Homo-oligomer: A and B are copies of this chain.
């Protein structure tokens, strides 16, 4: 019932081989013949059978993008940037010419199991490339499993790229490139800003425990604190709470921190969304931002500039990183030397931070 390659061949009075060559454009075909074939394709409204050609050619045009939370713009921005690098832009011809890829995003929900599941599914589809974004869970067993999976994928010819995620410990060369974010540096700069302003009692609503991103941001923060001789480790731990990357976590976290230390003058949030929750809790407690308590976010998502007050945060060039990762996955861009290129984080000072209240 569906139109096949040979139907087209018959109509164009050529062999199936020729049609295939026209569609793939990787073999000389006389202009007149090509013309005829294209016309037949058009007339029959033919669409290549993806599975069949993937099987025969042993590669497919599927590219998988794994994200932790598809409803979070942090990932949305990276994914859409990556996706926009991968064709799909112009009209798809009937064939696979032009190297258009089907870039698809897979939502792991932050669950290691689902991450592995998707990787298997992608492996099953013989994906051309896989792009992992965001956080990695710091469970040795899981990291090993992921690394092993990626190694197998790489073996089968899939290009693996890591974006906003540290390089693999286990099989570093299974990966084409890794673009980790400089979370440590960003957190450090942010904390220094707060210290300069005069803050000494700084609370932290951190991200989920056991995640590299969370750990790195914490390390940056503590490094700055330590360098300034502000507080000891026990204090830091007391002034840190963990939670997911949502508004609720910020709200609850801020209340908890306030309970633990009502004298707090600043709160650093795991990201901008969490920061909004923190602001809400503060406001509810009758505290003004930044006059009574300063608040800082992380990521610099678009809404942060519009918040009231506008959020001081650390800008991560999500779009650029995503786009670059996309090109790397496609092989359009040369991998960086050493396969790793850190993505820098820049402090953005806005209205939500200020000097601590005079006592």
Contact = CB atoms under 8 A, between A and B. Distances in A.
Interface residues of A, number: 65
* Most central of A48, A60, A89, A104 by chain B CB within 10 Å: A104
A83 B118 CA distance: 12
Contact of A52 (B2, B51, B89): B51
Contacts of A302: 246-247
5 contacts: A70-B80, A70-B105, A89-B117, A100-B117, A303-B303
A137 to B, nearest CB: 15
Interface in A70-97: 70-73, 76-77, 79-80, 83-84, 88-92
A50 B124 CA distance: 5
A71 to B, nearest CB: 3
A45 to B, nearest CB: 7
Contacts of A306: 247, 276-277, 280
Contacts of A91: 113, 116-117
B47 A50 contact: no
A49 B102 contact: no
A80 B105 CA distance: 11
A155 B3 CA distance: 12
The 4 closest A-B pairs by CB, nearest first: A104-B104, A71-B76, A51-B54, A50-B124
A260 to B, nearest CB: 23
